[in-house]
Structure 1
Amino acid sequence: MNLINKLKQEWFLVGMVAAMALAIVTPDWGKSEGILHLDTITVFGIALVFFLHGLGLSPKAIVEGVSNWKLHLFVQCATFVVYPMLWVIFGHGFLSFMPAALAFGFCYLFVLPSTISSSVAMTAIGKGNLPGAIFNASLSSIIGVVITPLLVQFFMGMEGAELNLVESVLSIAKMLLLPMVLGQLMRPLLFEWAQRHKAVVGKLDKYVILLIVYSAFCDSIEHGIWRDFSTSLLITSTLICFIVLLVMVHGIQWGARRVGFNHQDEVAAVFCGTKKTLAAGIPMAKVIFDHNPNLGMILLPIMLYHPIQIFYCAVLANRYAKVELPSATSPNH
């Protein structure tokens, strides 16, 4: 019974494994222009998810977090400077021992923006600077619309991979940013409705991600991408994701203390600066890499990294929650 309860709690991770397994036996169903037409359905699903993200963002909390410039600079540099430097340092090493599509998957992981929901949730659990976390997670998503495809073009272009940068940025903005802005505009009218249906609304993004994962793996299996992919390479990829997370979490902790952050700002910095978004990362990949049959392998690093970051950061958030704070502590500005 404990195992069943645990599987129910982790239904999303179970669902990702199930989606990959289902793709093995039914690739014709979920492939691009396949029986289910998921390539069309998921476009509308993604727009709806980011509309609901915009609906849920509190303008007041974002405004409250604006003035802490030191925290914002620290977090955005961690996300869009330090992480990409990992590819600069280790990229050629990745390309030398793993398939190019998987190596580029790690490059893509490193240039993704932060998450919104889990960064904010972990910061709240760890007694961190919540307005600062909301502002930084939201800012990261907006910056990522431009920076992520720009960095993909810069790094992968050096290896001979090309994409239409302007078209990618416009497509991502239309798919993610526009629905989010519309959600904010509709917040006065629909927020109460969203709160009443929170149980369904809160899971919708995960349902859409599962459909995209299934579709991507159907495409990759249809094109025979996984035939030469070994178990040892999968284990190695998982270990790399775990090591990267450890290095970033403890590096950001060290850096936050060196620049004089208090507990609240350190917590926000750790959880906003180390997270990488699966919710935006998968739909962005569909735009950036278009109908690339290697998409399943490119997405593998973020799919491995996501559960690892959730698990490890949840443990860390609980540790932060136990820290005794002085009663007069307030965020640094």
Structure 2
Amino acid sequence: MRFLSKFYIDGFILSILAVVGLASVFPARGEAADIVSWLTKIAIALLFLLYGARLSTHEAVTGLKHWRLHATVLACTFVLFPILGVAARVLVPHILTEDLYTGLLFLCLVPSTVQSSIAFTSIAKGNVAGAIVSATLSNLLGVFLTPALVILLMNTTGQAKVDLSSVADIVFQLLVPFFLGQLIRPKVKGFLTRYAEPTKLVDRGSILLVVYSAFSAGMVEGIWHAMSPWRILLLVLVCCVLLAIVLAATSALGRARHFDRGDRIVVVFCGSKKSLATGLPMATVLFAGHPIGLIVLPLMIFHQIQLITCAALAQRWARTAP
């Protein structure tokens, strides 16, 4: 373990890699996939219940009022990313095929993740209240902004429709548990203070469930076998470069806006992420009649890379926290 710590590799990152390997060999199918999906939803709801119980009402209200932070995160998600996606057109056809470029541009248009952005912010000891508001706001607005950007920037067949059930999912799976946590906070805050490990277990466990569920879906769809290995390697490289550019840009933007340490962590984690859970359902509606598997492949690869990279960053920042 001391040898691994020199390279900032710890048990959490190894756990993510192990879950990816498990999903590759034993992907969840049929009823098992349904069970994993429900377990993931329950874990995320429990996570937000704990966040609500752990945050004081004053901190939550302060998070709501921090509009400079939320505007910065939204600008990264819905301005910076789309610009980079449009610029990536130069990679066609030598590096990316038309379908893969469509997928790359689509990944740049989907909203930020909610659960993992907040979990990593919590692990890194950043501004959790600000992360909850920024990530949730990104997802709520993304239900409308992503289809609008797709229509504006991409040629798709069929009419893009917004499924209002996505809004209901966000409200009932994320916001309702959070407010319930706020209500029960006076009774459980002492317990959570004395026993911090359960919260950490839910943080990391929910991320591992998301990784397993997403990677299992890709294995079941067989999208990894639809392309040659070298094309997949090029796509992985493109996703790595895209994430590196965005991480550098969000870090620089946080400093330029003179945010404190906690807020800079929020900008990096919430502004650099893309939601697989939101992107996959949107893709099935927006790209009806198109090769969905290939179109969502860049998003799936980027999702795995961002989890592993941000896990390393979160652990590193946690060790250097004041």
Shorter-chain TM-score range? 0.7 to 0.9
Structure 1 alignment gaps of length 5 or more: 125-129, 322-333
Identity across matched positions, percent: 22
Superposed CA offset, 1:169-204 (max 9, x none): 222222222212222222112222223332122121
Give the C-alpha shift of residue 245 in structure 1. Answer: 3.9
| Alignment partner, residue 289 of structure 2 | none
> Is the alpha carbon distance of 1:212 and 1:103 closer, same or farther for their aligned partners in structure 2, counting shifts above 3 Å?
farther
Superposed CA offset, 1:207-254 (max 9, x none): 233233323333332332211344444443443344334433443455
Contact 1:163 1:289 (8 Å CA) reproduced: no
> Is the alpha carbon distance of 1:140 and 1:101 closer, same or farther for their aligned partners in structure 2, counting shifts above 3 Å?
farther
Contact 2:12 2:204 (8 Å CA) reproduced: yes
Moved more, 165-174 or 293-302: 293-302
Q: After the TM superposition, which residues 1-333 of structure 1 pair with which residues of structure 2 at under 5 Å, given as runs?
A: 2-3=2-3, 10-27=10-27, 30-34=28-32, 37-64=35-62, 69-90=67-88, 93=91, 97-98=96-97, 100=99, 104=103, 107-108=106-107, 111-113=110-112, 115-119=117-121, 122=124, 133-156=127-150, 158-160=154-156, 162=160, 164-252=162-250, 254-255=252-253, 261-262=257-258, 265=259, 267-268=261-262, 270-276=264-270, 281-285=275-279, 288=282, 298-311=299-312
Give the C-alpha shift of residue 140 in structure 1. Answer: 0.8
> Is the alpha carbon distance of 1:15 and 1:32 closer, same or farther for their aligned partners in structure 2, counting shifts above 3 Å?
farther
Contact 2:49 2:179 (8 Å CA) reproduced: yes
Whole-angstrom distance in 1 between the partners of 2:65 and 2:41: 36
> Is the alpha carbon distance of 1:135 and 1:52 closer, same or farther for their aligned partners in structure 2, counting shifts above 3 Å?
closer
Give the C-alpha shift of residue 143 in structure 1. Answer: 0.6
Give the C-alpha shift of residue 315 in structure 1. Answer: 6.2
One-letter amino acid matched to 1:299: M
- Cα RMSD, aligned residues only: 4.2
One-letter amino acid matched to 2:309: I
Contact 1:78 1:274 (8 Å CA) reproduced: no
Structure 2 alignment gaps of length 5 or more: 286-291
Give the C-alpha shift of residue 104 in structure 1. Answer: 3.2
Contact 1:47 1:176 (8 Å CA) reproduced: yes
Whole-angstrom distance in 2 between the partners of 1:209 and 1:226: 22
Whole-angstrom distance in 2 between the partners of 1:198 and 1:94: 49
Whole-angstrom distance in 1 between the partners of 2:273 and 2:77: 16
> Is the alpha carbon distance of 1:50 and 1:67 closer, same or farther for their aligned partners in structure 2, counting shifts above 3 Å?
closer
Whole-angstrom distance in 1 between the partners of 2:202 and 2:272: 14
Give the C-alpha shift of residue 33 in structure 1. Answer: 2.2
Whole-angstrom distance in 2 between the partners of 1:273 and 1:201: 23
> Is the alpha carbon distance of 1:219 and 1:68 closer, same or farther for their aligned partners in structure 2, counting shifts above 3 Å?
closer
Whole-angstrom distance in 1 between the partners of 2:184 and 2:273: 21
Contact 1:15 1:210 (8 Å CA) reproduced: yes
Whole-angstrom distance in 1 between the partners of 2:198 and 2:206: 12
Residue 222 of structure 2 aligns to a residue whose secondary structure is coil
Superposed CA offset, 1:76-130 (max 9, x none): 42344323433344368579815847853663466433622433654x5xxxxx6
Moved more, 16-25 or 95-104: 95-104
